[in-house]
Structure 1
Amino acid sequence: MLLLPIALSAQTKLSANIAEDFSNRVAERYQQKNHQAELFIADQLSKSGTGGLDIDKTMTDLKSDPAALDESLKFLYQYNDCNRQTLIAYLREMGVLSGSVYPLATYTVNKYKNESKALIEEKATIIKMGTMPVAAATPQPIPAKKPATKKLTEEEATTTSYDNTPTAASAGVKEPGDTTAGATTTAASGDDYNWDVRTLFKLRTPQELENLYGKENVVYRGTTDLAGNDAGNAYFVFPDTDNEMQVIFDGDKSPTITFTKPHSKWKSPFGIKVGDPLDKVVKVNGRDFKINGFEWTDGGIVNSWEGGSIAGKGVLVLFKANNSGDPGMYDKVTGDKKVKTDMGVLKKLEVVVDKIEFKSN
């Protein structure tokens, strides 16, 4: 029998068919948006970083991401108050095959029973703060897959007008892809903007970007990559402000999102923002990692996440040293070398996030 490599120990594994069964049930219920448990799992995966940049993609294909599948079971266990019988009852309610229910429950309880106290306390805090997700009253239609979108050339992008194209309704927070006829081109104002970066990964065209944030708030101009090399043109949202964001579209694939300004309102994946100290990123990653030596090719850019939580999630970070005045200290982390983030000198150099790039896989 084929076994999925998500083991608790040498004695306990989930078979591929059980993992797929659970994954399929979660995908269906999550897309309906009327089941609080699945929405809770998605929120927790996003907070932990295991959900990656595109939580919708992760939640609808857990079987392809063993780490996310494991974590989803943990958060389902948490949702059910870390109670085995309650968990079993919920798995049955989900429609999990009868032959999968007990193996899933046993695997989950054995794997996370030592975390039960912390999980229960965290859930109580979430409830107290009023941040539990709200489920829809009725099942929502499961979205159909969008057809491939033609990638615009630079000439098309700079000459095409969207003035006569219907846009999303201006009332409330707009969703990507909403092109309801009769809507105006006026974007929501002030704090009505959707500041969740995850929303952007669903976009495929400049029109959708303008629908969300207003054509007057989007400009198309030259940009560079994190290393400072010419990267062609990008769409700048709220240019030359603290909330400036760069978007580069990639046809029917997820766009690349880049931030270079501190103090923005954007809610970024993993909670990492420009200006964050190095130790915060280490904590989010769950372990130390390596960056390229400063003042060299790709200097300050993460070279390897060393298998941490951020590894393989489409996150690229450039660091800078705010206190590089002492040559003796700075020379230890400059040049053609890989620098491990546990070096004490990095804290003295006040290393922080300078730029960050997100690209959903």
Structure 2
Amino acid sequence: MTLPGGLCLAALATGTALAAPARPVSAGLPPFDCAGPFARDASEAALATRFGAGNVVFRTVPGPEGTRFKATVLFPRDAARRVEIVWKDEKRRQRPTHVSVAAQSGWKTADGLGIGSSLAAVEAANGAPFTMAGFGWDYGGTVTDWNGGRLARPGCRLLLRLEPTPGTPADDVDGDRDFRSDAPAMRAAQPVIYEMMLVFE
């Protein structure tokens, strides 16, 4: 599946999640953004200088559909601060292709979105409904089009993936097809963010 920015994965006003509260921001973390430590000119060396060499490792990490790839992992032993960075220049480990956080991450976007933030919070940050893939497969819940909203940023895309709240009806929004976020069946599934990525074009 080709996502916004041309990335084929092998490899937001503040809101409260409907099923589980958004994770608190870990102390001292900058915004999860295309500027700052994860800017287009970022490098592993710069991350080591900013966050400490002992908090930066280069290793093989798992991807979707059984794939594996090399990435720099920031804070590998701290789920709240862990970040994975895949590089355009893998030899020099500089210029990110994509940067991702998931699971128990405490990172937040400049708009306050993070793991556990609700569909309503994402729509509020975007200022409009958006389009997303159906659930129940490896790329399920991926935002595929911001539909001209505020989160549609050229050059570096914020890519979010959401999953339905357990126990909600989601069968009508399953599968490899697109749905609008304001569709009644999608709202009934009460999706929340489970992964965030910065994708560089």
TM-score (norm 2): 0.71
Contact (CA 8 Å) 1:248, 1:257: kept in 2 or not? yes
Instruction: Describe how 1:101-116 pairs up with structure 2 within 5 A.
Output: none
Residue 333 of structure 1 is aligned with which of 149, 168, 173?
Answer: 173
1:354 aligns to 2:189 (yes or no):
no
Task: Please list every run of 5 or more consecutive structure 2 residues that lacks an aligned counterpart in the other structure.
Answer: 1-11, 14-25
Superposed structure 1 runs of 4+ greater than 6 Å apart: none
Contact (CA 8 Å) 1:235, 1:246: kept in 2 or not? yes
Q: Which residue of 1 aligns with 2:6?
A: none
- Structure 2 counterpart of 1:284, one-letter code: A
Q: Which residue of 2 aligns with 1:246?
A: 84
2:97, 2:87 → 1: CA distance? 4
- Structure 2 counterpart of 1:341, one-letter code: S
Contact (CA 8 Å) 2:31, 2:109: kept in 1 or not? yes
2:68, 2:120 → 1: CA distance? 29
Residue 118 of structure 2 is aligned with which of 274, 277, 287?
Answer: 277
CA distance change for structure 1 residues 245 and 228 in 2, over 3 Å: closer, same or farther? farther
Residue 72 of structure 2 is aligned with which of 235, 239, 245?
Answer: 235
1:345 aligns to 2:185 (yes or no):
yes
1:229, 1:195 → 2: CA distance? 32
CA positional deviation for 1:271 = 2.7
- Structure 2 counterpart of 1:285, one-letter code: N
Contact (CA 8 Å) 1:289, 1:340: kept in 2 or not? yes
Q: Which residue of 1 aligns with 2:160?
A: 317
Bigger relative contact order (CA 8 A; separation at least 6)? 2
Q: Which residue of 1 aligns with 2:23?
A: none
Cα RMSD after superposing both structures: 2.7
**Which whole-Å deviations, capped at 9, do the CAs of 1:259-296 have from their partners, x for residues lacking one?**
103451x3424332111101111111111111111113
If each structure's helix is expressed as a fraction of its own residues, which one has the higher value?
1
Contact (CA 8 Å) 1:295, 1:334: kept in 2 or not? yes
Residue 129 of structure 2 is aligned with which of 288, 298, 303?
Answer: 288
Q: Partner of 2:170: helix, strand, or coil?
A: helix
- Structure 1 counterpart of 2:73, one-letter code: F
Count of residues in Structure 1 that have an aligned counterpart in Structure 2: 168
1:218 aligns to 2:61 (yes or no):
no
Contact (CA 8 Å) 2:173, 2:179: kept in 1 or not? yes
Give identity over the alignment, percent.
22
If each structure's strand is expressed as a fraction of its own residues, which one has the higher value?
2
